Structure 1
């Protein structure tokens, strides 16, 4: 499963402002990360080697530039060389990394020549089915085949006639996408010393920060802006999602609450031709930066079939309503079975995952008695830890949700203290290999207490680490850093292993190597003792009486109702998966790595809820 690199989408929000990086910033920023990090506290030989690997992966993730012998040349270094790198690091010198960039430059020149030669050949445009490349090319000939295959796949999807006008436009588009990536590695040749230092230092900080673990990262202002909008489901901007193809930069969609939508002039598919009166000739990213340049407004010129038009747009704070909670239901025995898909665990002053789910539950009850519920956490990558606690609390009474172990040895218990659940009927938590972090907290917590059954891929992603981020505080330097591990009330940690499904219903991701265990430099997992009986050991004496009076009497007990049903529920589900012809067609499709027209995972999750209802009624 590979994401195509030719679709570039940007939600036009304001950046926090650019920052010019210098070599001296590296140690300063890394020292901040070392201060917070749960394990790594100083630059070391291990981190140097890791950073070199990351530098390679950041440059050549698709394995379309470097040869294996060049990779070996970079990574095969003596102890003396490592000591020199460490000594240079303390002096804000990065000579070896500059040498690596020179190797990258030569690789770019070679790849460009291979692409150029291939464009002028008479080649077939047949799509070549293949898995992504995980290893590097062993020879220039092997590299040529890879690049030619990549180009052929790109052009074959568009059914373009070689050498036609549209074909030539797509050649320029294809090159433009790679040129944006490649140009950064030639910045050290730039006469502008500040630009040269900035590009090199940014790439170096990316590699060094990620050497601590997979989730410690340094962000550019643009990346920080996008992350902030994702976490808070809101930002200040014009409210247009742009996409680029061979015909130019187009409007893919409009945010319904955004200022661009309110103009009633802009349509999906309109092509951006000018920004603030200047013709758009540069790359996609540069055009977006032009839009973001002015704090309060943008003047954009678009064209479509009936001509061109100008529009003045004032930038406003927007609430993003897409990708929050999807509500669906089906009628069943005089009531409804609800299906709530939570896309992430977001939180801001205006919106939160918790409030949206509460609202969704109220909406479902308006449709009829809520007989059962599927909480869909598939492809939910996580978000705010506080929201994971609150969302868990919707389905349980009082109790510990998660225990956090931090860098300084501090241990914190995060509790649900409401004392009431908003839904306590048949519940399936639907997961996949892409359910991660906060989604795993909710799935594991509800499984621990027995209030719901986890259904989906054999296990979830397996990320049970906690990150501190300064992105939402609008700092000059933005990063997130791993500061702790979390455990659910059973003492289990999903780290590396993931949350195990009670009933396996495979998703289309089942056969892919997806999960924390497959990431470089992932932290180890471990378990602790269970905490179902809350001792209140961390509660200060002045607050203990309140917890004893109003919290402890309402502790959520482990519910055995659904776990006792599991053998029967598993048997029924396995029989449906084995004998249902459509489910067999689905399994065949995903075994061939193909999409399927029906969401069979959700269908089976709904069937399991129905089984839970029927068995409950019998008893």
Structure 2
């Protein structure tokens, strides 16, 4: 497949920018074919490193798609796969011809097999399990073949269900043993009665799962197929159906327009499971967790729509709406009464999405900790709210409290908007390059901080882990390259060195009668450190490496399918941070503390143990053997109880503005108290504060020495 480089304009405004292609318009009454046509066109025209769509590509799509739709090999038979394999080297041709014959074949067969499987599991769970029988359950599906007969299929299902039931059986027996000790009037159940209850629990679990599976529409599986094709290009190229794109936008901006309630389908009912702090429903204080929504009516309509039996996503469409409008819910309240409740819609901000800060005292010094879950921004209006402006506010507030050093916690931060991280890095340096970005066939562009003002010029520590990715890696790498701060965390960060863009697929279609077609996120560029190196695959190496529970588990870009390769370019011109901080001595002292930390030694042992447990695939279905193995694991796990018992003598506090908010917001108060408790038990934060103390001390000593010399 030859690359067409005739792109009229490629403007990277954000990490998710917009691209304009050569003028071309599509029209097709078949939505599925149209989607394949659009996705293949965009990837051919715009992907950073497009694939040749050939027989190898086809074979990879075939294998990956089979794994996607039947990962546990409990639907399809070997005979099904033999029929499907006629298409193994034909999918490439079908993609180029927008033909969905392979998808249609597998989809139709999957529906049949799912119905058969439902009958199988219901039949199996009608018969008691014999937990005295000597047999094993092998959970290594990747290396299992497909079954050849219905007898084999039923046996595969039987062992899976028995494995679920034996876990329930053990929990129920353990619960009964506790009850016997605590309640002298407790009526003891027989093993047979407990076995029945364990099977019923498994049946309920399976019924709930199949309610979800059967709620899935054809279009959702079309999305799975299209994404199998898309991910052959790289792990971050992905098709978003309209609802998925809406959810992603909420995640990236941290807000949406609605009533501020989280819903869950339980049986046939749509149930309120949580009210979002600060939302309109929370402020109104009439809706409760546990209320069941029976009907939804818009304020300008007379007829209500029943949502009983409706998919959660479909019910949400009726409930969400523009700020300033009202929605009327017919509710079955927790107490069983039925009532209509009119709730105003508003802009709902998801507080857990945003930056939060705390102040802490250590050795008579005042330090600040800022946790940043993501590099968020409003895609429609960047200036409304974004992570960079929020971090700036938090730093100013911490400075007002006398902050002498800052910990920026990026652990678990998967990235976000590129402009946001460039702006944020500029808060810590005078000016200069932050990151280099390269498009195929073009020289790298340097993204710079041009604002000479500095919001924080004091000691800085950046905390990272294996899940710190993309924009997190850009910030950590820039601070490291400038010698502006010390990076503490895992051996390396995630290793995502690519930039993606979103493109609205509707823009290509004339006379569209198919409804919203969604969007495609695809890789358009790679980014590089200012020293010229890429974080792709290799991530950012911490200055001080500390073990965590994921140290021996395969996490990161290098463990994804089809990642782009590592490479490097020329360094940008930049000047190291001019300060009196003694980074080398501080890092050396931190490494020495880490090497002598009993807590970290225990965490490392725990990480090795977790790896061993995760690698186990064979489980006994004999209860005595199953119980012995659990008891052995529990005994081994007791060695690691001290990890959660660990506590520092540090006390973390919210800033004055938050304390005022907490007077009327008990949810915010409880969340902050939980966060502060976790911080006080966090050995990584403790070490970050030690490093800040050392940096502060080295700054004072070197500055005094410099003054004397002058």
**TM bracket, shorter-chain basis:** 0.7 to 0.9
Select which of 332, 337, 342 maps to 2:367.
Answer: 337
- The residue that corresponds to 2:241 in the other structure is 220
Matches of 1:67 and 1:270 in 2, distance apart? 40
The 3-state SS of whatever aligns with 1:222 is helix
Q: Could you tell me whether the CA contact under 8 Å between 1:400 and 1:416 is conserved in 2? A: yes
Question: Alpha carbons of 1:92 and 1:172: their partners in 2 closer, same or farther (altered >3 Å)?
Answer: same
- Counterparts of 1:449-464 in structure 2 under 5 Å? 449-464=482-497
Q: 1:326 Cα deviation (Å)?
A: 1.9
Q: 1:589 Cα deviation (Å)?
A: 4.4
Residue 507 (str. 1) matches residue 548 (str. 2): yes
- The residue that corresponds to 1:193 in the other structure is none
Residue 65 (str. 1) matches residue 74 (str. 2): yes
Q: Deviations over 1:239-285 (max 9, x none)?
A: 11224556954333323342222322012343434444525234434
Select which of 118, 126, 135 maps to 1:120.
Answer: 126
TM value normalised by structure 2: 0.70
- The residue that corresponds to 1:434 in the other structure is 467
- Counterparts of 1:576-615 in structure 2 under 5 Å? 576-577=596-597, 580=598, 582-593=599-610, 596-597=643-644, 598-615=681-698
- The residue that corresponds to 1:85 in the other structure is 91
Matches of 2:270 and 2:131 in 1, distance apart? 25
- The residue that corresponds to 1:360 in the other structure is 394
Question: Alpha carbons of 1:615 and 1:430: their partners in 2 closer, same or farther (altered >3 Å)?
Answer: same
The 3-state SS of whatever aligns with 2:353 is coil
- The residue that corresponds to 2:142 in the other structure is 135
Matches of 2:565 and 2:274 in 1, distance apart? 42
- The residue that corresponds to 1:104 in the other structure is 110
Q: Could you tell me whether the CA contact under 8 Å between 2:547 and 2:603 is conserved in 1? A: no
Residue 299 (str. 1) matches residue 328 (str. 2): yes
Select which of 508, 518, 530 maps to 2:559.
Answer: 518
Residue 309 (str. 1) matches residue 330 (str. 2): no
Q: Could you tell me whether the CA contact under 8 Å between 1:169 and 1:247 is conserved in 2? A: no
Question: Alpha carbons of 1:156 and 1:216: their partners in 2 closer, same or farther (altered >3 Å)?
Answer: farther
Single out whichever of 496-505 and 137-146 deviates more from structure 2. Answer: 137-146
Q: Could you tell me whether the CA contact under 8 Å between 1:21 and 1:202 is conserved in 2? A: no
The 3-state SS of whatever aligns with 2:105 is helix
Single out whichever of 481-490 and 45-54 deviates more from structure 2. Answer: 45-54
Select which of 314, 334, 358 maps to 1:328.
Answer: 358
TM value normalised by structure 1: 0.80
Matches of 2:30 and 2:427 in 1, distance apart? 45
- The residue that corresponds to 1:546 in the other structure is none
Q: 1:486 Cα deviation (Å)?
A: 0.2
Matches of 1:173 and 1:289 in 2, distance apart? 27
Residue 149 (str. 1) matches residue 163 (str. 2): yes
Q: Could you tell me whether the CA contact under 8 Å between 1:506 and 1:601 is conserved in 2? A: no
Question: Alpha carbons of 1:583 and 1:432: their partners in 2 closer, same or farther (altered >3 Å)?
Answer: same
Which blocks of at least 5 consecutive residues in structure 2 are unaligned?
A: 1-28, 148-152, 177-192, 298-303, 508-515, 611-636, 645-680, 703-710
Query: Is the radius of gyration larger for structure 1 or structure 2?
Result: 2
Residue 181 (str. 1) matches residue 216 (str. 2): no
Matches of 1:50 and 1:218 in 2, distance apart? 18
Residue 27 (str. 1) matches residue 37 (str. 2): yes
Matches of 1:318 and 1:167 in 2, distance apart? 42
Q: Deviations over 1:547-567 (max 9, x none)?
A: xxxxxxxx6547694442255
Q: Could you tell me whether the CA contact under 8 Å between 1:336 and 1:371 is conserved in 2? A: yes
- Counterparts of 1:423-572 in structure 2 under 5 Å? 423-470=456-503, 476-533=517-574, 557=577, 561-566=581-586, 568-572=588-592
Question: Alpha carbons of 1:92 and 1:320: their partners in 2 closer, same or farther (altered >3 Å)?
Answer: same
- The residue that corresponds to 1:372 in the other structure is 405
Question: Alpha carbons of 1:422 and 1:279: their partners in 2 closer, same or farther (altered >3 Å)?
Answer: closer
The 3-state SS of whatever aligns with 1:470 is strand
Question: Alpha carbons of 1:285 and 1:54: their partners in 2 closer, same or farther (altered >3 Å)?
Answer: farther
- The residue that corresponds to 1:262 in the other structure is 283
Select which of 233, 242, 251 maps to 2:272.
Answer: 251
Matches of 1:249 and 1:336 in 2, distance apart? 48
Q: 1:48 Cα deviation (Å)?
A: 2.2
The 3-state SS of whatever aligns with 2:142 is coil
Q: Could you tell me whether the CA contact under 8 Å between 1:429 and 1:453 is conserved in 2? A: yes
Matches of 2:159 and 2:482 in 1, distance apart? 54
Q: Deviations over 1:387-420 (max 9, x none)?
A: 1111111111211111101145253211011123
Q: 1:460 Cα deviation (Å)?
A: 0.6
Q: Could you tell me whether the CA contact under 8 Å between 1:452 and 1:562 is conserved in 2? A: no
Which blocks of at least 5 consecutive residues in structure 1 are unaligned?
A: 1-18, 188-195, 534-554
Question: Alpha carbons of 1:290 and 1:484: their partners in 2 closer, same or farther (altered >3 Å)?
Answer: same
The 3-state SS of whatever aligns with 2:358 is strand
How many residue pairs are counted as aligned between the two chains? 560
Matches of 1:422 and 1:89 in 2, distance apart? 52
Q: Could you tell me whether the CA contact under 8 Å between 1:118 and 1:148 is conserved in 2? A: no
Question: Alpha carbons of 1:570 and 1:607: their partners in 2 closer, same or farther (altered >3 Å)?
Answer: closer
Q: 1:510 Cα deviation (Å)?
A: 1.9
Question: Alpha carbons of 1:521 and 1:218: their partners in 2 closer, same or farther (altered >3 Å)?
Answer: same
Q: Could you tell me whether the CA contact under 8 Å between 2:53 and 2:92 is conserved in 1? A: yes
- The residue that corresponds to 1:418 in the other structure is 451
Q: 1:297 Cα deviation (Å)?
A: 4.2
The alignment yields a C-alpha RMSD, in angstroms, of: 3.7
Question: Alpha carbons of 1:31 and 1:362: their partners in 2 closer, same or farther (altered >3 Å)?
Answer: same
Question: Alpha carbons of 1:234 and 1:527: their partners in 2 closer, same or farther (altered >3 Å)?
Answer: same
The 3-state SS of whatever aligns with 1:322 is helix
Q: 1:427 Cα deviation (Å)?
A: 1.5
- The residue that corresponds to 1:552 in the other structure is none
Q: 1:428 Cα deviation (Å)?
A: 1.3
The 3-state SS of whatever aligns with 1:101 is helix
